[in-house]
Structure 1
Amino acid sequence: MSYRYLKLASILLPTILIGGFEFMRHGVFLDHFSMETGNYIITLLTFLISCIYTVWLFRVIEVKNNRITKEREIHAIYEERERLASELHDSIAQSLFLMKVHMKKGKLKEAGALTNSIDTQLRQAIFNLRLTPDEGTTFAKRIQHWLDNWCIVSGIDASAEINIDEDFFSASEEVILFGIVQEAFTNIQKHSAASSSSLTLTGQNGGWELLIEDNGKGFKPDELMHGHYGLTMAKERAEAISASLDIRSEPGTGTKFHLKGYKNNG
């Protein structure tokens, strides 16, 4: 039922029912009901009609809102996937070009490293396509599964501690947050020279925190400002889910990647 019909029903239904009773009361039932009895009946009738209609109306609105929310989440998921596909295309195209240059120059070691990089990117892309939020697998299990694969590919140990309810994040928020996690660990693999890393995700009372740490070589603050670690996209993703991102590091002390946000339950 469209909102136009809901609007017409809200205007006409109470008017027809209550107004019709008043015409019947002053016509057919005039000799059967006293004025006081009629007032009680019309009050009770108005109350019953209001209760029944309001419950039905809000149920219809709730169904429509849930459908709209689901459609928006699906749209957000496809947008995120399209963006990831575009990033993957550009990254692989650049890697293939560099690999071709290295092979022409006889730099087989560098070409082999690029081959491994392309393999890693493709593995991550295939993982993202296979595991989607609507498959019934929890968000925590998807992260743990991806981290297990990442450890094998990168050779870096990674531990995960995730304490959130199963339905804490919406499907679209899970996709965006998953992309942030991947971006952070990709940077650990490429730049940190770390031997171990960890992920902690907690959420309660509408607030949540994500902390990713490594024991790598760290970096100077001005290197981050110049985009050396490619975290601009992670910041944009954080803003998309109303979260703040704080990255702290010093040479030789590793890096802390801290994301903090609040759920809007209104």
Structure 2
Amino acid sequence: MSYRLLQFLCVLLPTLLIGGFEYIRHDFLLHSLSMETGNLYITILTFVLSLLFSIWMFRTIKAMNDKLANEQSKRAVYEERERLARELHDGIAQSIFFMNIKLKKGDTEAASRALSTIDNHVRQAIFNLRSEPEIDDSLNSRINKWLAEWSSLTGVEVEEAIQIPQGFFTTKEEIQIFAIIQEAFANIRKHADASKAKVIIEEMKDGWQLKISDDGRGINFSKKSNKQYGLSMMEERTKQLGGVLEIRNRHPYGTEIIVKKE
């Protein structure tokens, strides 16, 4: 049902029902109904019809809005998955090109690392792209499911503390936050040599905070390569969220990534 039809019914139905009652009252019931009784009946009829019509109309509008929001959410997820697929393709292509060069030079160790990178890309693709979006798939459930698969694959124990109510984030914010979590845990898998990791999402007084930590080797910020792996993507996504990204080493070991928006 379209909004135009709802608008038409909103004007037409009360007019026909109440006007029709008044017409019948004056032409056929005037001798059997007193003016006071007729006024009482028309008041009650107006109230009942307005109540029933408003309940029906707002339920219809809510169902239409929910359907539209769900379609927009699924479209946004599909668009994000297409973007991830392009990034995945680029990553595999670069790794294969690098591996081919190293094999020609006889550097089998570097080629083996490139092959391992390709394997990780493919496994990540399975997590990101194999399942259809679910209608009631909240951010919390998607994070829980993805981290459970990630933990099963890597053997790293993951602790979760997600304290954000459903609907707190917009669809675009959910996509950015989920991608930051994926990138952070990809870095933990590739570089941290950790046995435990933790992710916390909590509502703050004037905003929210995402915190990801591990008990791995930490980051040597003096090395340029360590300053670049995966961080540029997280920085860009944090910027799109309007937040602030902080990356630091934990005491006595490990890394902590904090995304905060106030």
Q: Say if 2:211 is the partner of 1:218.
A: no
Match for residue 71 of structure 2? Answer: 71
Kept in 2, the 8 Å contact 1:139–1:174? The answer is: no
Deviations 1:52-80 (A, max 9, x none): 10011011111111111111111111111
- Give percent identity, aligned residues only: 39
In the TM superposition, what is the alpha-carbon distance from 1:150 to its structure 2 partner?
Answer: 4.5
Q: Structure 1 stretch 204-213 or stretch 6-15: which is displaced more?
A: 204-213
The number of equivalent residue pairs is 255
Letter in 2 for 1:178: F
Kept in 1, the 8 Å contact 2:143–2:178? The answer is: no
Change beyond 3 A, Cα 1:56–1:142:
same
Kept in 1, the 8 Å contact 2:80–2:175? The answer is: yes
Change beyond 3 A, Cα 1:58–1:98:
same
Match for residue 37 of structure 2? Answer: 37
Match for residue 122 of structure 1? Answer: 122
Match for residue 26 of structure 1? Answer: 26
Q: Structure 1 stretch 229-238 or stretch 201-210: which is displaced more?
A: 201-210
Gaps of 5+ in 2: none
TM-score by length of 2: 0.80
Kept in 1, the 8 Å contact 2:213–2:254? The answer is: yes
Alignment of 1:1-266 (within 5 A): 1-131=1-131, 133-134=133-134, 138-139=141-142, 141-152=144-155, 157-164=156-163, 176-190=176-190, 192-203=191-202, 209-214=209-214, 215-220=216-221, 228-238=228-238, 242=241, 244-249=243-248, 254-260=254-260
In the TM superposition, what is the alpha-carbon distance from 1:125 to its structure 2 partner?
Answer: 0.6
In the TM superposition, what is the alpha-carbon distance from 1:111 to its structure 2 partner?
Answer: 0.7
TM-align CA RMSD: 3.5
TM-score by length of 1: 0.79
Rounded to whole Å, the distance in 1 between the matches of 2:21 and 2:135 is 53
In the TM superposition, what is the alpha-carbon distance from 1:231 to its structure 2 partner?
Answer: 2.9
Change beyond 3 A, Cα 1:37–1:193:
closer
Q: Structure 1 stretch 102-111 or stretch 17-26: which is displaced more?
A: 17-26
Deviations 1:20-52 (A, max 9, x none): 222222222222222222221111111011001
Rounded to whole Å, the distance in 1 between the matches of 2:222 and 2:12 is 66
Gaps of 5+ in 1: none
Letter in 2 for 1:139: R
In the TM superposition, what is the alpha-carbon distance from 1:184 to its structure 2 partner?
Answer: 0.5
